Amino acid sequence: MFLLSVSKSSLTALTLGAIGVVYGDIGTSVLYAMKVVFESGYVAYTADNVMGILSIFFWTLTVIVSLKYVVLVLRADNNGEGGLVAMLALASMAVKESPRLRRVLLVVGIFGTCLFYGDGVITPAISVLGAVEGLEVISPTFKKLVVPLTLLILFCLFAVQKRGTAGIGKFFGPITLVWFAVIAILGVVHIATNPAILWALSPFYALKFIWAQPVTTFIILGAVVLCVTGGEALYADMGHFGKKPIRLAWFSVVMPALTLNYFGQGALLLDTPDAVKNPFFLMAPDWALVPLVILATMAAVIASQALISGAFSVTKQVIQLGYLPRLQILHTSVKETGQIYLPLVNWGLFAMIVLAVVLFKSSNDLAAAYGIAVCTDMLITTILTFFVIRYGWKYPLALCIGATGFFFLVDLAFWGSNLMKLLAGGWFPLAIGGLIFTLMMTWKDGRRLLNTTLKADAIDLNGFLEAVFVSPPVRVEGTAVFLTAETGTVPNALLHNLKHNKVLHENNIFVTVRNHEVPWIGLDKRVEVESLGHHCWQVLINYGFKNDPDLPTALQQLKGRGCELEHMTTSYFLSRDSVIPTIGGGMAQWREKLFAQMHHNASAAADFLKLPNNAVVELGSKIEI
């Protein structure tokens, strides 16, 4: 009985946390989605059109979020982890016997990951702008304060990131739960004045609208997609909360609250057509406007926080998969390893968000920029899901096509509609994604060329050691740990050490760190060790893309295997290579120069691997690519 109550308590806490973190983004879409559709100029204001749009909203939420993500995609977990990076790893492993297809999927998946950053710029901007615009409903004189106040709120949000979310994270769930309760109550009040609006729950009204106005339907899908913004988040955050809490939160709280609010906005529009200028805030009585603006702003900040934290997490995963150079990563919690802060990502996002707010100035105009990145990610997720269930789970082809084909057509329709917004603002997140994609692919290709060069010049470690110990140099006390990119090769740091210092330590450990396309690798598979004789060992350390690299801690597992490390007598030797671009190399000249600059500015391996600063020796060399 005690265990049962603990389980229920844990499920409740996780569900509350999921409401705060996972659904903050989609929860704030009620601020602007309906307004954008009717202010687009494509939908004539009639009772039939209001019913049709409401029905399309409801069935969009049902098909894309409830069926695609909650029912199907959540099943595709990578050792309990979700998100596009985890899905990409699953898909690439599923087709590993087809290298060409695997390379294509990796490029497509990485591009989708890059678009996440475009989404990470637009979401905080449109959410906070949409909330602060409630001031215009209170008084038109506040209009000139909307952009400055939005920028001030966003600056404060990014400024506190370095302190971590542990302190304020516990309030996310309760505040967002209050938000969903309030928007549901606002909806119920207006539905009660016109209960006939609930007939729009029937797909008949959506199909009737589509049949009567197919061209208009296609055009407005670019605005309708705003109601499912944040749908990807419930999959990305699966590792934090688990499938059951996410599903429970959606069906018991989020979906009902969103539906009630949208239908309440519809009822208001039927009674008061002028409310179309801001139907959400005009649902509230005058006395509740100020508290509602404050609550909406808090909900928008929470939605933005979840996306910013997601950007930190995704960046760390991409670094460990080898698509970005090492960046400075600060841990903001001694208890939660997942709570990290990347200064460069934080302020880079903020700079882009400021540009977006200043450039577009209103949530309506930002809506033109929003959608194309989200829809492209949704389309990529559907494609990767097909390869996972077909080649990973070995389901019959007909079933796989049936399970993903329908969602592919739906995603394709939304994606095609959003392409029409390309010149109106859709180019903005695509430009951000394209820039990051260029950086990622340049780093990946540059690392491949660098490793090829290193392999070509590499010396076999076993043969080298045999030659050295024919007439061994002076051996000094202590342990030397040499990092090498490939097992079985002589690290440059060892060559430089012998050339300049003419000594060899009593114990020598040659370490290769290998990152794998799985989220987690347990301690039982973390360290592989092979004795090379003469008190030398080859060590392979394995990490998943969500593991937290810590080399000294990992090497403690060598105890009892014939190799003991003493903290005070261990030195870490690293090769600090300088990359020299050459004409006619493996990449375009500008890409080689870009790679060389990225390589130069990469965070030190010592910091990334948590090596003690007073025990690190870096020996440099120049390498042409």
Mean pLDDT, the chain, rounded, equals: 86
* pLDDT, tens digit (0-9, with 9 covering 90-100), for 34-77: 988 888 778 877 889 999 999 999 999 999 999 999 888 888 87
pLDDT at residue 546 above 60?
Answer: yes
Highest-pLDDT range among 97-111, 143-157, 196-210:
196-210
pLDDT at residue 347 above 50?
Answer: yes
Q: Give me the pLDDT at residue 237, please.
A: 76
Q: Give me the pLDDT at residue 409, please.
A: 94
| Mean local confidence (pLDDT), 78-97 | 82
Residue 625: pLDDT band (50, 70, 90) is confident
| Mean local confidence (pLDDT), 461-472 | 88
Going edge to edge, which strands form the sheet with 616-624? 527-533, 536-544, 503-516, 474-483, 570-580, 616-624
Do residues 267 and 193 make contact, with C-beta atoms less than 8 angstroms apart? yes
Q: Give me the pLDDT at residue 187, please.
A: 95
DSSP 345-409: HHHHHHHHHHHHHHHH-SHHHHHHHSSHHHHHHHHHHHHHHHHIIIIIS---HHHHHHHHHHHHH
pLDDT at residue 480 above 60?
Answer: yes
pLDDT at residue 422 above 60?
Answer: yes
| Mean local confidence (pLDDT), 165-177 | 73
Q: Give me the pLDDT at residue 336, please.
A: 52
| Mean local confidence (pLDDT), 440-469 | 87
pLDDT at residue 170 above 70?
Answer: no
| Mean local confidence (pLDDT), 315-323 | 85
* pLDDT, tens digit (0-9, with 9 covering 90-100), for 96-106: 888 889 889 98
Q: Give me the pLDDT at residue 248, please.
A: 92
| Range scoring the smallest mean pLDDT among 130-139, 428-437, 558-567 | 558-567
Q: Give me the pLDDT at residue 204, please.
A: 95
| Mean local confidence (pLDDT), 596-614 | 85
Query: Token digits for 77?
Result: 């977990």
Q: Give me the pLDDT at residue 334, please.
A: 54
Q: Give me the pLDDT at residue 387, please.
A: 92
* pLDDT, tens digit (0-9, with 9 covering 90-100), for 8-34: 557 888 888 888 878 888 998 998 889
| Mean local confidence (pLDDT), 581-605 | 82
CA distance 565 to 73: 45
CA distance 109 to 380: 7
Q: Give me the pLDDT at residue 3, please.
A: 33
Q: Which CATH architecture has domain 2-445?
A: Up-down Bundle (1.20)
pLDDT at residue 338 above 60?
Answer: no
- Rounded (10°) CA dihedral 51, 52, 57, 60: 140
CA distance 543 to 514: 6
CA distance 301 to 549: 31
Q: Give me the pLDDT at residue 618, please.
A: 83
Report domain extents, the chain. 2-445, 457-624
